[in-house]
Chain A
Amino acid sequence: MRNQIVKKEKIASKTYSFWIYHPEIVSHYKPGQFIILRVTEKGERIPLTIVEVDREKEIFRIIFQVVGKSTRLLSKIDENEMILDILGPLGNEVRINKDVANILFVGGGIGIAPLFSKIKEFLKEKKLKGSVILGARSSENLILENEILEITRNIYITTDDGSKGKKGFVTDALRDLLNTNEDIDLVISAGPVKMMKKTVEIAKKNKIDILVSLNTLMIDGTGMCGGCRIEYDNKTRFTCVDGPVFDGYKVNFQQLIKRNNQYHSHECKIKNLEDNL
């Protein structure tokens, strides 16, 4: 049945992987796209990246971290159950210039999930050269390491606490790699907005192009509400229909950070209410 979770797994601390049956989304999927789903009748519409698809079984995969109310409710749905509403695939296919030959992928935290769809596309399907930097707070937060290892051995891992790989941030590893590896001609970055902002600054310093996969607040995902808008090249753009992948040089991150915090106090309110239950 459409919208059914055919496989559910907990893959890291607070992080879940679902394979969901949906023939139309799978057959129309292009790498870089996402879905919007709703868990209950009173629920929010939340965006999640399509991490990969299995065209034969007509299933697609999402990976998400429990950060608030909606992702918590989502994590409680059991295998074989249905997700109430799923809309997709939304957004655009990620595109790179024809002459790009060597890509450096940078993913932080749950950002590794959206990054994986691009790694798979360019390193596995298109067989380009590349390397990957993965970062997490600690080893139990690190996701998709094995899947990525199956695609490339060029992996660099950093953790904030040093429990795996090098102690430090992905941005440190990025700086090192760009300084030592002259062949890299594109960086693709996904993770917390502050991390992406930093990666853009570093890429810029090294005069290397960078694509970022943005996560704004969204409602409809169809270009109707304007809630997902960003300032891009001094113009307004809608992440859901113009993105979600953008040229990192042109994104006004300062403003994106502020806009993403708009509902911070509301989310705290929900959290307090739940904590008191």
Chain B
Amino acid sequence: MAVNPKDRPSEERINDFDEVNLGYTDEEAVKEAQRCKECGVCIKGCPVRINIPAFISQIKKKNFKRALSIIEKDNILPGICGRVCPQENQCEARCIMDNPINIGALERFLADKKVPKDIGIYPSKNNKKIAIVGSGPAGLTSAFELKKSGFEVVVYEALHKLGGVLRYGIPNFRLPDEIIDEEIEQLKKMGVQFRTNFLIGKTLYLDELLDKFDGIVIATGAGLPRYLKIPGENSIGVFFANEFLTRINLMKAYKFPEYHTPIYKGKKVVVIGGGNVAIDAARVARRLKSEVMICYRRLEEDMPARNEEIQHAKEEGIEIKTLLNPKKIISKDDGKIKKVKFVKMKTVGKQQDGRNAVVETEEYIDIETDIFIEAIGQIPNKIIQQNSKGLEFDSWNSLKIDENMETTKNNVWAAGDVVSGAATVIKAMGEAKKAAEKIIKEIGG
């Protein structure tokens, strides 16, 4: 029987921003580990290729420190990945067991043990310098790999805090700040240098970085919100999910006025979208004591969010309405939102990706609300190219790269959401590792 880590009861957790999932106790972890056949099939499902059977084997023997050091050979962010990786589509999807081993939960368990970690200082040994732009999972991973190989590494980040979406997007109840801090601290100890408040393209230009460094990794993510472009969108009470989440996660507006950034609250909140971002925004709103509804244009089975998170949202009392697409926002005289007009959708067979295709019907409904949050996707922003030439983007703003992860500009590589469009933490990390390997091959000598 699989051992699953416990969640805090939903009535309790909607009152705070503390973590929902409690993680394993030692006994639970060992028991879960014992189910593993150590066949190694799952490794192919992990984009950073952690030696999963090896670390699980050490858990069985209660050698937690050894187990963690096996993970940290390939992944400097185990506490983060163990929590937010869509394991069910990655390593765990490959597991040979009918009831897959909870690999992610075991990884998190080890990261949380806080045993003194085996990361040494890595002196620069090849006299080569690499600049990394962006401190999200892609930037952090390439920094780790390059530092390990003896490069001098400097990470430039636009915001005042490190971590990218991990910091400003994913809420604390799924990924506490301390976990991000600790894992970044490891990188600092290794000798990676960080410069916050540097927007490349404005504070320094890409071409200036190229003069000072031997190579650059662009890992600027996909931070530009897409929005519905429907009438009334700029009414008061209408948010793009990024703003709502940034106020809460980065600026800690839920602790206003102790923290100085306010958040606009409402009795009723409607969130549009079906991905992780929509679910996170809804669960945050719930913790601000609102009545929350998620409206999605397809069916629940088509929602791209992690299943576990959809279940969590439902447990927390969030209503999910499907086959609804917003057409118009109607506001009151004072500019505040009053209601949203939706068109009802219907399914018409399946798309290529297996999800339901939908079309509009002629039926409409109005839903009254105080807050309306749009979480329909993000694309990369192109600030990095300002005042420099030679980078090429496709029509979705994704940076073009070749099979060596190199951009159209010499000595400039790229990885993560800026290349793939909004994806996942572990995909961004997998690509970042690949980019680092190419750099090591090309200029590491």
Contact = CB atoms under 8 A, between A and B. Distances in A.
Contacts of A219: 243, 246-247, 250-251, 261
Interface in B323-341: 334-335
B252 A263 contact: no
Contacts of B243: 219, 225-227
A28 B259 CA distance: 32
Contact of B199 (A44, A90, A226): A90
A202 B65 CA distance: 73
Contacts of A262: 236, 264
B262 A45 contact: no
B160 A87 contact: yes
Interface in B230-248: 233-234, 236, 239-240, 242-243, 246-247
A44 B334 CA distance: 26
Contacts of B264: 262-263
Interface string B142-165: 000000000000000011100000
Given A219-B246, A224-B224, A88 B202 contact: yes
Interface in A1-55: 24-25, 28, 38, 40, 42-45
A85 B160 contact: yes
A102 interface: no
A236 B234 contact: yes
A224 B199 contact: no
Contact of A266 (B198, B227, B246, B256): B256
A43 B229 CA distance: 32
Nearest to B242: A225
A4 to B, nearest CB: 14
Contacts of A241: 381, 383
Contacts of B225: 224-226
A225 B196 CA distance: 18
Give the one of A227, A230, A267 with max B CB within 10 A.
A227
Interface residues on A, range: 35 or more
Nearest to A270: B257
B197 interface: yes
Contact of B261 (A24, A44, A85, A259): A44
B258 interface: yes
Interface string B203-227: 1110000000000000000011101
Contact of A222 (B199, B229, B255): B199
A69 B262 CA distance: 12
B388 to A, nearest CB: 12
A247 interface: no
Contact of B257 (A45, A89, A220, A273): A273
B61 interface: no
Give the one of B160, B240, B252 with max A CB within 10 A.
B160
Contacts of A70: 260
Given A25-B203, A222-B158, A267 B262 contact: yes
Given A87-B199, A273-B257, A224 B381 contact: yes
B205 A86 contact: no
Interface residues on B, range: 35 or more
A1 B436 CA distance: 33
A266 B203 contact: no
Contacts of B233: 236
Nearest to B169: A224
Contacts of B205: 28
A248 to B, nearest CB: 18
Contacts of A85: 160, 196-197
A223 B246 CA distance: 12
B242 A87 contact: no
Contacts of A42: 252, 255, 258-260
A234 to B, nearest CB: 10
A88 B257 CA distance: 27
B223 A222 contact: yes
A263 to B, nearest CB: 5
Contacts of A227: 239-240, 243
A44 B259 CA distance: 8
B197 A222 contact: no
Given A44-B260, A70-B260, A222-B199, A87 B236 contact: no
Given A220-B159, A223-B381, A236 B246 contact: no
A28 B246 contact: no
A185 B162 CA distance: 47
Nearest to A257: B335
Give the one of A219, A226, A230, A252 with max B CB within 10 A.
A226
Contacts of A222: 158-159, 199, 223, 381, 383
Interface in A261-277: 262-263, 266-267, 269-270, 273
A229 interface: yes
B202 A225 contact: no
Nearest to A254: B335
A258 interface: yes
A28 B252 CA distance: 31
A28 B387 CA distance: 10
Interface string B260-271: 111010000000
Interface string A216-248: 000110111111011100001000010000000
11 contacts: A42-B255, A45-B160, A69-B260, A86-B197, A220-B159, A223-B223, A225-B243, A252-B234, A259-B234, A259-B335, A273-B257
Interface of B: 158-160, 168, 196-199, 202-205, 223-225, 227, 229, 233-234, 236, 239-240, 242-243, 246-247, 250-252, 255-262, 264, 334-335, 381, 383
Interface of A: 24-25, 28, 38, 40, 42-45, 69-70, 84-90, 219-220, 222-227, 229-231, 236, 241, 252, 255, 258-259, 262-263, 266-267, 269-270, 273
Given A85-B197, A263-B262, A270-B260, 9 more contacts: A42-B259, A44-B251, A219-B247, A224-B242, A225-B246, A227-B239, A227-B240, A258-B236, A270-B257
Shortest 3 CB-CB distances between A and B: which pairs?
Answer: A258-B335, A266-B262, A226-B240
